Amino acid sequence: MIPWLPAGSDFPEPEYALDEPNGLLAAGNDLAPATLLRAYRRGIFPWYDPSQPILWWSPNPRCVFRPGDLHISRRLRRHLNRAPLTFTLDRHFETVIDACAAPRDDDGGTWISAAMRAAYVRLHGLGYAHCLAVHEDGELAGGIYGVQLGGVFYGESMFSTRTDGSKSALAALWALAPRLGIGLLDAQVENPHLMRLGASLMPRADFQRRLDELITDTTPLPWPGGPYRWSALDQAH
| pLDDT tens digit sequence for 133-172 | 999 998 999 999 999 999 999 999 999 999 999 999 999 9
Mark which of 45, 60, 75 sits at the end of a domain.
60
> Is residue 68 very low, low, confident or very high in pLDDT (cuts 50, 70, 90)?
confident
Based on the domain organization, do 47 and 136 belong to the same domain?
no
How much is the average pLDDT of 104-126? 83
Based on the domain organization, do 67 and 50 belong to the same domain?
no
Based on the domain organization, do 130 and 222 belong to the same domain?
yes
Based on the domain organization, do 148 and 203 belong to the same domain?
yes
Based on the domain organization, do 56 and 67 belong to the same domain?
no
Number of domains in the chain: 2
pTM of the predicted protein model? 0.95
The pLDDT of residue 104 = 63
Based on the domain organization, do 128 and 219 belong to the same domain?
yes
Based on the domain organization, do 79 and 53 belong to the same domain?
no
DSSP single-letter state for residue 89 = E
Task: Report whether pLDDT(46) > 80.
Answer: yes
Letter for the amino acid at 132? L
Based on the domain organization, do 56 and 79 belong to the same domain?
no
Task: Report whether pLDDT(71) > 90.
Answer: yes
The pLDDT of residue 156 = 96
The pLDDT of residue 103 = 74
Based on the domain organization, do 181 and 223 belong to the same domain?
yes
The pLDDT of residue 62 = 98
Instruction: Write the CA distances from 208 to 41, 43, 60, 84, 174, integer angstroms.
Output: 9, 7, 11, 40, 21
Termini Cα distance of the chain:
46
Based on the domain organization, do 28 and 118 belong to the same domain?
no
At residue 147's C-alpha, the angle toward residues 144 and 149, to 5°, is 140
Distance CA 90, CA 88 (A): 7
> Is residue 237 very low, low, confident or very high in pLDDT (cuts 50, 70, 90)?
low
Distance CA 81, CA 59 (A): 36
Letter for the amino acid at 99? A
The Cβ of residue 234 has, within 10 Å, a number of other Cβ atoms equal to 15
H helices, E strands: number in the chain:
8, 11
Candidates 187, 216, 234, 226; CA nearest to 79 is 234
Q: Supply the CATH number for residue 38's domain.
A: 3.30.70.3550
The pLDDT of residue 111 = 79
How much is the average pLDDT of 36-60? 96
Q: Supply the CATH number for residue 161's domain.
A: 3.40.630.70
| pLDDT tens, position by position, 182-235 | 999 999 999 998 999 999 999 999 999 999 999 999 999 999 999 999 998 976
The pLDDT of residue 107 = 47
Based on the domain organization, do 99 and 46 belong to the same domain?
no
The pLDDT of residue 106 = 46
Q: Are 187 and 157 in contact (CB under 8 A)?
A: no
Based on the domain organization, do 68 and 47 belong to the same domain?
no
Q: Are 44 and 56 in contact (CB under 8 A)?
A: yes
Identify the domain containing residue 47 by its residue range. 4-60
Q: Are 128 and 116 in contact (CB under 8 A)?
A: no
Mark which of 60, 82, 99 sits at the end of a domain.
60
